[in-house]
């Protein structure tokens, strides 16, 4: 096991280059199951989740070659249709192979997904979507088993008890590309990563309209051809580094990002008092300050404030000049990092799905533990802004979604290093 040892109090200054979006790369990799030809994907981030999904694709008869952000996926066989538990338990996004396998191989046997302990991760919308497209779907011994000799287009309402679903929208959209007839996805997720997947599929010959709105229309085609595609930048990584720059009262040039995907976060950060300048179509300059104004934020589906930046924002608000309230509307248990931040001297009270954050003057370094990917990123930001040395345990959570985070932070002047630990 590894931990990150961080000495807080150092300003972050300089340039950071944002990697390709994890949550675009994963569904696009899964979509390669729809295509027999070679698929080339560029700007792929080198993450644990990408490695895990590559293993799954190899189990499913693909040959995956990945080096220096370029991934080539070739088809060896289309026999196997089973995504086994020992792989899917590591990554929630493994559920995204359900739609492509069903559409291309007429059958899919996918173990219930694992993923972060950020709340129940139901898959009812995925199952409902496959059934509407004509599949028979049953759940047996922890596996979703879906079969259909032929998929036919239908009307899928993606509104669940908790709003829409990003990967369920992606799953239905992928399956619909090879269904007979037209599929309409109502209340579709509008995240940029859904749009990126749609653009990839269109480049492979799919007929998709309305991606990026809440109504996506897919006209089925006979088959899809191979293509070469470049993944969008990771808006959550970019937001994470902007908040790290803010926390340390630094000055950070965030390059290779897509500012248009960060409109609402940038509005919030500016309201807090940070100086955020969009210098060009792929560059943002953030200038921090000693103390920030408190804000009230609710996490909602895109284009509102993303749940995946909630922990990182909370870290900065722990030292704001007043009381802030963050309301988490997407996941039911996504405040575990708050208790760890309190160990650093923060004053956060959890009340249902709201976190009340009373700004304090200082945080102090101490050992804290990551419980999930973005919570771990939030704790790194808190430690960067704390006095003295602290450490983050269970760094493997962070490695799932951030490429060489300590290297990128060190280049900005952070005092951070990765060390082995017996503590799990």
Query: Which active-site residues does the annotation give?
Result: 116
Residue ranges in 124-143 that form contacts with ligand EPZ under rule CB under 6 A: 124-126
**Paired tokens of 3:** 């931990």
- Which part of the chain contacts ligand EPZ (CB under 6 A), choosing from 80-88, 154-162, 270-278, 409-417? 154-162
Determine which residue in the list 9, 61, 122, 212 makes contact with ligand EPZ, applying CB under 6 A.
Answer: 122
Taking the complex as a whole, the smallest distance from the CB of residue 361 to ligand EPZ amounts, in Å, to 31
Residue count, binding to ligand EPZ (CB under 6 A) = 28
Stretch of 20-28, 220-228, 273-281, 284-292 contacting ligand EPZ, by CB under 6 A: 20-28
Tell me which residues in 85-114 interact with ligand EPZ (CB under 6 A). 92-93
Site for ligand EPZ in 322-351 (CB under 6 A): 330-331
Choice between 261 and 319, CB closer to ligand EPZ: 261
Q: What character string, x for contact with ligand EPZ (CB under 6 A) and - otherwise, covers 167-186?
A: xx------------------
Q: Which of 26, 174, 386, 398 binds ligand EPZ (CB under 6 A)?
A: 26
The residue (of 170 and 285) whose beta carbon lies closer to ligand EPZ is 170
Give the residue, chosen from 55, 162, 298, 333, that forms a contact with ligand EPZ under the rule CB under 6 A: 162
The distance of closest approach from Cβ of residue 338 to ligand EPZ in the complex, given in angstroms and rounded to an integer, is 17
**Residue 126 or 319 with smaller CB distance to ligand EPZ:** 126
359 or 376: whose CB is closer to ligand EPZ? 376
Is residue 291 within 8 Å of residue 317, measured between CB atoms? no
* Whole-angstrom distance, CA of residue 150 vs CA of residue 137: 14
Question: Parallel, antiparallel, or unpaired: how do β-strands 415-420 and 228-230 relate?
Answer: unpaired
Structure tokens at 378: 């939030």
Q: Which of 21, 336, 401, 406 binds ligand EPZ (CB under 6 A)?
A: 401
Residue placing its CB nearer to ligand EPZ in the complex, 196 or 391 = 196
- Closest CB to ligand EPZ among residues 308, 399: 308
The residue among 148 and 168 lying less far from ligand EPZ, judged by its C-beta, is: 168
* Contact between 190 and ligand EPZ per CB under 6 A: no
Q: Which of 9, 114, 160, 205 binds ligand EPZ (CB under 6 A)?
A: 160
Check residue 313 for interaction with ligand EPZ (CB under 6 A). Answer: no
Of 123-131, 254-262, 286-294, 406-414, the window that binds ligand EPZ (rule: CB under 6 A) is 123-131
SS3 labels along the chain: CEEEEEECCCCCEEEEECCECHHHHHHHHHHHHHCCCCEEEECCCCCHHHHHHHHHHHHCCEEEEEECCEEEEEECCCCCCEECHHHHCCCHHHHHHHHHHHHHHCEEEEECCCCCCCCCCCCHHHHHHHHHCCCEEEEECCEEEEECCCCECCEEECCECCECCHHHHHHHHHHHCCCECEEEEECCCCCHHHHHHHHHHHHCCCEEECECECEEEEECCCCCCCCEEECCECHHHHHHHHHHHHHCCCEEEEECCCHHHHHHHHHHHHHHCCEEEEEECCEEEEECCCCCCCCEEEECCCCCCCHHHHHHHHHHHCCCCCEEEEEECCCCCCCHHHHHHHHCCCEEEEECCEEEEECCCCCECCEEECCCHHHHHHHHHHHHCCECEEEEECCHHHHCCCCCHHHHHHHCCCEEEEEECCCC
The only residue of 83, 110, 123, 144 in contact with ligand EPZ, by rule CB under 6 A: 123
Which position among 374, 394, 397, 408 is part of the footprint of ligand EPZ (CB under 6 A)?
Answer: 374
Contacts of 261 (CB under 8 A, 6+ apart): 192, 232, 233, 235, 238
Verify binding: residue 307, ligand EPZ, rule CB under 6 A: yes
Which residues of this protein are in contact with ligand EPZ, per CB under 6 A?
22-23, 26, 92-93, 116, 120, 122-126, 160-163, 165-168, 193, 307-308, 330-331, 373-374, 401
């Amino acid at each position: 096991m590894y931990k990150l040892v961080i000495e807080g109090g150092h300003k972050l200054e300089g340039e950071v280059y944002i990697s390709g979006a994890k949550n675009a790369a994963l569904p696009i990799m899964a979509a390669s199951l729809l295509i027999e030809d070679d698929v080339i994907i560029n700007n792929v981030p080198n993450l644990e989740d990408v490695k895990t999904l590559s293993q799954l694709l190899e189990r499913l008869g693909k040959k995956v070659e990945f080096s220096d952000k370029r991934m080539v996926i070739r088809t060896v066989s289309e026999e196997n249709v089973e995504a086994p538990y020992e792989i899917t338990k590591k990554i929630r996004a493994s559920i995204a192979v359900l739609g492509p396998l069903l559409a291309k191989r007429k059958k899919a046997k996918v173990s219930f997904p694992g993923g972060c302990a950020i709340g129940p991760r139901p898959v009812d919308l995925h199952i409902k979507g496959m059934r509407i497209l004509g599949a028979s779907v049953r759940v047996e011994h922890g596996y979703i088993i879906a079969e259909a000799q032929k998929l036919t287009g239908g009307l899928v309402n993606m509104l669940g008890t908790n709003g829409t679903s990003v990967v369920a929208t992606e799953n239905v959209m992928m399956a619909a590309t090879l269904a007979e007839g037209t599929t309409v996805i109502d209340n579709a997720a509008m995240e940029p990563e859904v749009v990126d997947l749609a653009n990839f599929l269109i480049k492979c010959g799919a007929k998709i309209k309305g991606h990026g709105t809440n109504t996506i229309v897919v006209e089925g085609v006979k088959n899809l051809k191979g293509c070469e595609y470049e993944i969008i930048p990771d808006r959550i990584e970019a937001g994470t580094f902007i908040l790290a720059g803010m926390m340390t009262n630094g000055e950070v040039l965030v390059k290779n990002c897509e500012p248009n995907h960060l409109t609402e976060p940038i509005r919030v950060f500016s309201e807090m008092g940070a100086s955020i300048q969009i210098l060009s179509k792929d560059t943002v300059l953030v200038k921090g300050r000693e103390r920030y104004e408190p804000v009230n934020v609710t996490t909602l589906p895109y284009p509102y404030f993303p749940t995946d930046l909630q922990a990182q924002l909370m870290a900065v608000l722990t030292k704001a000049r007043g009381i802030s309230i963050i309301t988490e509307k997407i996941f039911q248990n996504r405040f575990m990092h708050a208790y760890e931040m309190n160990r650093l001297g923060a004053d956060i009270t959890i009340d249902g799905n709201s976190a009340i954050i009373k700004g304090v003057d200082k945080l102090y370094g101490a050992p804290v533990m990551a419980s999930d990917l973005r919570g771990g990123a939030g704790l790194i930001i808190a430690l960067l802004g704390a006095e003295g040395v602290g450490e983050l345990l269970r760094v493997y959570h962070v490695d799932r979604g951030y490429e060489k985070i300590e290297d990128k932070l060190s280049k900005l002047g952070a005092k951070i290093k990765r060390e082995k630990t017996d503590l799990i």
